[in-house]
């Protein structure tokens, strides 16, 4: 290693997809990067914030296709930090919400490399909000669960069955391949009429939304041809969506008029 190189790694949460939802701190971190390692869920438009001469490496993972294993990604981060100095690891959503960010931090720090974290806007909250779905609402929902639909052993998380028993709003990430199982668990708790929203490619121009109930959502998915990446929102707050959506549209309209 060049003794003048000062290795440093910053994990930056890229937000849910819309490039405008990257934080200012994330923009500043990218502007100082010598190397950017970015994944499949962080919008490539964000790379314009990095210096032109910086090295950009795609290390994304999608269902059925892995460019790199997690162990390889960990090693790539360390190798690039030791060789080039300042590395930014750009990860979709927030690095610590099912993003394996803590695993990467632990590995990097085992080499004595300083690490920093820039929180990102988690898709679990931002994507429903973008559709006018408030995860909590007085008198409707006092709490919410955020659960991974697919655990490391590729099974549905046991927490989904627990969440189905509660009155909380339930947000499930990476759960589309397990949707039939999720529906069955909620039906067992007599929750067949509970509203459900499925939001594909949330906050992006190609966003698609399906609204139904536990009993109807499988048919809605079929009719709307919804697939991954998508977020599943289950709870009474979904039925409040139309009124909230109207509010957001009115707010955006007033904002534009104020500018004019």
**Known catalytic membership, residue 174:** yes
3-class secondary structure for 150-173? Answer: CCCCCCCCCHHHHHHCCCCEEEEE
Catalytic residue among 25, 61, 137, 245: 61
**Known catalytic membership, residue 61:** yes
The dihedral built from the CA positions of residue 12, 10, 118 and 173, taken in this order, carries a sign that is positive
Catalytic residue among 39, 94, 178, 191: 39
Catalytic residue among 8, 18, 91, 174: 174
Q: How far apart are CA 233 and CA 236, in angstroms?
A: 10
Q: Return the closest-CA partner of residue 163 out of 176, 173, 154.
A: 173
Residues with catalytic function: 39, 61, 174
């Amino acid at each position: 290693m060049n003794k003048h190189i000062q290795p440093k790694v910053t994990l930056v949460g890229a937000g849910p997809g819309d490039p405008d939802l990257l934080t200012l701190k994330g923009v500043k971190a990218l502007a100082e990067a010598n190397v950017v390692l970015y994944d499949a869920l962080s919008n490539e438009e964000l790379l314009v914030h990095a210096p032109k001469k910086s090295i950009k490496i795609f290390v994304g993972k999608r269902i059925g296709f892995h460019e790199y294993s997690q162990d390889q990604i960990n090693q790539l981060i360390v190798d690039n930090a030791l060789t080039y100095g300042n590395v930014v690891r750009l990860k979709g959503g927030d690095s610590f919400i099912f993003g394996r960010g803590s695993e990467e931090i632990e590995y990097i720090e085992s080499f004595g490399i300083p690490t920093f974290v820039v929180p990102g806007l988690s898709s679990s909250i931002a994507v429903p909000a973008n559709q006018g779905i408030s995860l909590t609402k007085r008198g409707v929902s006092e709490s919410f669960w955020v659960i991974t639909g697919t655990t490391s052993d590729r099974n549905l998380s046991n927490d989904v069955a627990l969440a189905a028993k509660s009155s909380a709003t339930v947000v499930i990430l990476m759960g589309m391949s397990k949707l039939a199982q999720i529906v069955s668990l909620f039906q067992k708790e007599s929750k067949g009429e509970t509203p459900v929203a499925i939001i594909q490619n949330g906050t992006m121009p190609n966003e698609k939304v399906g609204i139904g109930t536990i009993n109807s959502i499988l048919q809605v998915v079929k009719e709307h041809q919804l697939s991954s990446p998508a977020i599943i929102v289950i709870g009474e707050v979904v039925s409040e969506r139309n009124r909230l959506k109207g509010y957001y549209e009115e707010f955006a309209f007033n904002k534009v008029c104020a500018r004019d």
